[in-house]
Amino acid sequence: MNDPDPDGAAGKASRARGGVRIRLLLFVCVALAALFAALVWRVWQDHRAGAVTQAGVGALSGRVATLEDALASLQQERAGLRQRLQDADTTNRALREQLFGLDLRTRTLEGAVASLSEQHFAVADALRLDEVEMLLRMAQERYLLFHDAAGALQATTLAGQVLAAVSDPAYAELAPTVEAQRQALLAAQLPARTADLATLGRLRAQVPLLPIRRDDRASTASPQGVLARIGAALSGLVRIQRSAHAPLAAASAGLARELLMLDLAQAQSALLAWDRAGFHAALQDARTLLVLRFDPAADDVRAATADLARLLAQPQPAAAPDLDAALAQLRNLRATHALKPVVPATVPAKGRAR
């Protein structure tokens, strides 16, 4: 039996080991080549990424520079705005001071205007009160001097109208007194009183036409004989007397008419003077004289007698109105109001505008 060749086995074994080494070396080479390729790829990628990064950095640097320029511009604008705000604040402060000064001047002006207004109203009220006093005094004098109730009523009415225009409330209490005086004057000039005066005037005008009694005409006729006429003339010259108890038939017709006219005139005067007793006494005398001395059958005498009877039957005329109360009250109010202290108009203080 043949023995195997030791050299052949050893050669195979060495060849086998050599092939393994070669394969291992090839693997290592391949691995090194792959690693080198990977390193090259990595370096290339890094280089590319660096280039991109440098481009991005450059772009970012440009943008940063642009932002810095914009920021600098904004800072300049901000500084300008801040300066403008400071200027505006200074201007507003000046305007605020001016506005505060104008406010003070306005309040001062309002106070002056209010004071002038009060003085104007005070002067206007004083003038109106002077006019009221003049009108009341005029009404008083017209009534006392002339018994002119219509004129006094007109003056009192005007005084009430002027008093209503007075703005001071202190004189409001005078209005009722003036109105009471006006009502009293209205009552004083009643149509009946005016008609009575007209009736008395008409009767005085009719007296010369009234016929005398027939027996009086016979007794007052010319006496027969020279001695009788001389005696009648001497008796008339020596003594003429009228008495309530003496017979009125002895008076002449002219004297009877004169006496009747005097009685009627006295009645008119008493009526104007608000003399009630004198008015009725004069009417009674006129009526008595008319009945005793004038012809009762005549129509004019009967009409005059009826008129006198109607006047006597009328109620007594109202009392004369009191024209002193309103004038005295006005003077008292003016004297009292003049003693009051004058309070100047005050302007309310206001806080300074901010």
- In terms of pLDDT, which residue wins out, 243 or 77? 77
DSSP for 48-81, please give it: HHHHHHHHHHHHHHHHHHHHHHHHHHHHHHHHHH
Average of per-residue pLDDT across 36-51: 84
Alpha-carbon gap, residue 136 to 151, rounded angstroms: 11
Paired tokens of 127: 């003038």
pLDDT tens-digit readout, 225-282: 545 555 555 554 544 454 444 444 444 778 888 888 999 999 888 887 777 788 889 9
Residue 60: which residues within 8 A CB-CB, separation 6 or more?
none
Paired tokens of 305: 């007698």
Residue type, 159: A
pLDDT tens-digit readout, 201-226: 898 898 888 888 876 554 444 445 54
Q: What is the pLDDT of residue 118?
A: 61
- In terms of pLDDT, which residue wins out, 12 or 25? 25
Residue 8: pLDDT above 70?
Answer: no
107 — pLDDT class (breaks 50, 70, 90): confident
| Partner residues linked to 288 by β-bridges | none
Q: What is the pLDDT of residue 176?
A: 92
Give me the helix-helix angle, 191-206 and 299-313, nearest 10°. 150
Alpha-carbon gap, residue 177 to 156, rounded angstroms: 11
